[in-house]
A and B are shown apart, each in its own frame.
Chain A
């Protein structure tokens, strides 16, 4: 049995009545709880503050692609027919995240906000050119998803724009079959201007590349799970797989 994390309990659990109140609390530094999975998991650093702000009762779970509410679960994203038809790489990436049970808890907003380098979804969202809808209690605005991953805004994520519809595919390799963090992943879309690829799980954020050459080794993570050289080679293989998949699709 895993040792108890020994995290000190906090006294209050805020359920803001509306988006404005939630955004104001978030801007003031409260920890926002979407699905809550990463916040409770022993696999991630303990970041839950003294007064968590729970979004569960706000109307943020509407899935009307390309706009998806922040509280839409990864399970819903993986099984929504419209997402699967117009943004297949995103549906595939959502369906490959963690376990079926975790996907019923984890939300798209929480997944983006957590900015976990090995997460599947951000790579596919970057490939489609997704964007993040934000609110800080004073104003609402939108920023590119990749920009958010590089430098997140101190604001509440209210929704995600999935980006443009296009044939797309997502491939990953992990240390074992089934639920396990990816060692490397590639998402690709067939845009009018050609194939566009993004490498995931190999650095702090997804990295775009042209399909001929993966990103240089100097930009890739080199750790006890895989060397940069291995990841570089792996990206080539996964990119070929994505390319083949898209050629067969079209």
Chain B
């Protein structure tokens, strides 16, 4: 089964009902994708599949055959991704780093919507990401700052 991850085409196997998060971590060594809850509630495994931020623990491999998967490695290297990383560091929006890859991927996806975002809307949009270190305020502030700079 073919899968494009961060621009590189891979042949993966093991059956179409494996979940994408396991394939990324165990087969391809993409350990920036964290596995926390396996039920789509924590956001740690979020990556972009064909541009849409989704929890990869809930995506079967069969569904994404031929799809393009973008993880934080690529997302954080985009212009908006670089600004997000800088803002998260500046605002103190990380400590252990477990939630950071998922948050960055989600925020890059939000920036792609090219609309105006209020802070409550950002908070709502990040509601699927659990952070046990910084308490969300700094994360929301950082993401809101960057989204405010993106032309609507």
B19–A40 CB distance below 8 A: yes
Contact flag A43-B17 (CB < 8 Å), given A52-B62, A99-B128: no
What is the minimal beta-carbon distance from A99 to any residue of chain B, in angstroms?
3
Q: Which residues of B contact A13 (CB under 8 A)?
A: 16-17, 60, 62-63, 65
A41–B38 CB distance below 8 A: yes
Contact flag A101-B46 (CB < 8 Å), given A10-B15, A40-B57: yes
A99–B58 CB distance below 8 A: no
Contact flag A5-B38 (CB < 8 Å), given A101-B54, A104-B53: yes
Q: Which residues of A contact B62 (CB under 8 A)?
A: 13, 33, 52, 54
Interface assignment of A126: CB less than 8 Å from any CB of chain B: no
Contact flag A105-B41 (CB < 8 Å), given A13-B16, A54-B63: no
A interface majority secondary structure: loop
A9–B106 CB distance below 8 A: no
Q: Which A residues from 168 to 189 make CB contacts under 8 A with B?
A: 178-179
Interface assignment of B59: CB less than 8 Å from any CB of chain A: yes
- How far is B18's CA from A40's CA once the two chains are assembled, in angstroms? 9
B14–A9 CB distance below 8 A: yes
A1–B60 CB distance below 8 A: no
Contact flag A178-B58 (CB < 8 Å), given A1-B35, A7-B17, A10-B16: no
- How far is B53's CA from A65's CA once the two chains are assembled, in angstroms? 26
What is the minimal beta-carbon distance from A93 to any residue of chain B, in angstroms?
16
- How far is B52's CA from A41's CA once the two chains are assembled, in angstroms? 19
B59–A105 CB distance below 8 A: yes
- How far is B22's CA from A89's CA once the two chains are assembled, in angstroms? 37
Contact flag A98-B36 (CB < 8 Å), given A33-B60, A33-B63, A105-B55: no
Q: Which residues of B contact A52 (CB under 8 A)?
A: 16-17, 60, 62
- How far is B43's CA from A179's CA once the two chains are assembled, in angstroms? 11
Give how many A residues have a beta carbon under 8 Å from the other chain's beta carbons.
Answer: 31
Contact flag A101-B106 (CB < 8 Å), given A2-B37, A40-B59: yes
A40's nearest neighbour on chain B, judged by CB, is: B58
- How far is B46's CA from A5's CA once the two chains are assembled, in angstroms? 19
B63's nearest neighbour on chain A, judged by CB, is: A36
Interface assignment of B124: CB less than 8 Å from any CB of chain A: yes
Q: Which of B37, B57, B60 neighbours the largest number of chain A CB atoms within 10 Å of its CB?
A: B60
Interface assignment of B133: CB less than 8 Å from any CB of chain A: no
A41–B39 CB distance below 8 A: yes
- How far is B35's CA from A12's CA once the two chains are assembled, in angstroms? 25
Q: Which residues of A contact B127 (CB under 8 A)?
A: 99-100, 178-179
User: B residues touching A (Cβ–Cβ < 8 Å)?
Assistant: 14-19, 22, 35-41, 43, 46, 52-55, 57-60, 62-63, 65, 106, 124-128
4 smallest beta-carbon distances between A and B, as pairs: A9-B15, A99-B128, A13-B62, A13-B16
